[in-house]
Chains A and B, each alone.
Chain A
């Protein structure tokens, strides 16, 4: 199993551009999560999903959107990128709401 994969690893965006961060898992987990981690800080939940077709907002959803059309994929869309969205983005999945397995992260810089 590849586990949780994220692409790209690094990205530089200009202010106002849009992009999609990809997340996929091959463990057939129902629960998936998107977090952002600012330097020296913990993780903040952006959006989460409890199964295909079901998504909901976390602590910091503004400026982001998600979709979950399949169990495997949970892409995160950034519209109109702003410098405040410079962060490391982690995707995670879980089989049971307890153990979350994290992807390697995407480091995003908005200039």
Chain B
């Protein structure tokens, strides 16, 4: 069974620190990976996507993918209290024939303390 695993946390970091969120996946056929942010009682919102090995940066966010180790991570630099949320990692297909189906992890709750 295809699985995406995350530590549920909570992960607590002080304001201004780097938050590191991690995710592993079991399906070696997964080709696309996504990080969604979900505030309490709200719907998920896409913040990062990554398809190739290495790093991808967008503002304070950096996604890292290592397909050999089946490992995805999200770094949040200069963490702010407004970053406090649950972060969901998801894996899916890519390219021709892809239907966009995603397998989600259970999410990691991040708490940024002022």
On A, residues with C-beta under 8 Å from B are 31, 33, 35, 40-45, 48, 50, 56, 58-59, 90, 94, 96-100, 102-105
Query: Which chain B residues numbered 35 to 90 have a C-beta less than 8 Å away from chain A?
Result: 42-46, 49, 88, 90
On B, residues with C-beta under 8 Å from A are 4, 6, 8, 32, 34, 42-46, 49, 88, 90, 92-93, 98-107
- How far, in whole Å, are A43 and B92 apart by their CA atoms in the complex? 13
A24 → chain B closest CB, angstroms: 15
- How far, in whole Å, are A59 and B6 apart by their CA atoms in the complex? 19
Residues on A with C-beta less than 8 A from B88 are 42-43
Assess the B100–A48 pair: CB atoms within 8 A.
Answer: yes
A46 → chain B closest CB, angstroms: 11
Residues on B with C-beta less than 8 A from A43 are 44, 88, 90, 102, 104
Assess the B46–A100 pair: CB atoms within 8 A.
Answer: yes
Assess the A97–B44 pair: CB atoms within 8 A.
Answer: no
B40 → chain A closest CB, angstroms: 12
Assess the A97–B104 pair: CB atoms within 8 A.
Answer: no
